[in-house]
Amino acid sequence: MRVVLSIFAGVAALALPWVVRLWRTRRWGLPVRIKVDPDAPSADAIAGYFAAVARRLDERPERMSVVIDGCTAESRSISLDFMPDGSMCVTVEGDEPKKFGLRRRWIPDHPVPLMLRSCRLWIEPVDSNRFRVMDALPFRVPPTIYAMCSLLAAIGVACVLPECIASAVGLAVGCLSAQTVRT
C-alpha cells in the first residue's frame, strides 16, 4: 500500500506544474484566428490583420492569443521583422516588405524575424498604448518551490517516508519540464 501511495504522490506532483500551465493558458481568452492564404499570401492582408488586433486592444485592453493558420503549403515563407528605424514589416518571400504602423507599440519578446506560416502569439497589454508579444507563454517557477522540494525530500529521507521523496522528485521534475517545453 505504501508503494502505491508513493507512486501516486510522485505522479500527482509531476502533473501539478502542467495543470498550472494549462490553467494559465486558459486565462488568456479565446484565440483570434488569422487565416493566411497558402497559395497567394498577401503581406497587405497580414499587416491589416495585425492593425485590426491593435484596434481591438485599443478598444478593450485584454490578454489574447493570436493563432496564425497558414495551412501546409511551404512554397513561400512569411516573416515578421523590424526595420532599423523601429518600424515593423511583413515579408512574403519574393515580394517587397510591407511596413505597417505599430512602431513603438509592439514590444517583441520573440525572436526576429518571426516566421508566420503557422504559429501562435501571446499578446499582453503593457499600458494604454503598448503591448508585449510573445511566441511562448512565460512560465516561471519561483525558487521557493525548489527549496520546498529539497525540504520535502530531506524530511522524507530523515523519516523514511517514500511518499515525501517521490512527491519532491516529481514536483521538481514537473517544474523543470514545464519550464522548458514551449506551448
State pTM to two decimals: 0.62
Best CA proximity match to 112, nearest among 138, 73, 83, 74? 83
Task: For residue 124, give the 3-state DSSP assignment.
Answer: strand
> Which DSSP category does 41 fall into?
-
Residue 85 has pLDDT above 60, yes or no: yes
The confidence band for 183, taking pLDDT boundaries of 50, 70 and 90, is very low
C-alpha torsion sign, points 48, 54, 60, 61: positive
Residue 65: how many CB atoms within 10 A of its CB? Answer: 18
Report pLDDT digits (tens) over 116-132: 777 788 888 888 788 88
Cα–Cα distance measured from residue 14 to residue 176, given in angstroms and rounded to the nearest whole number: 10
- The answer to whether the CB of 157 falls within 8 A of the CB of 149 is no
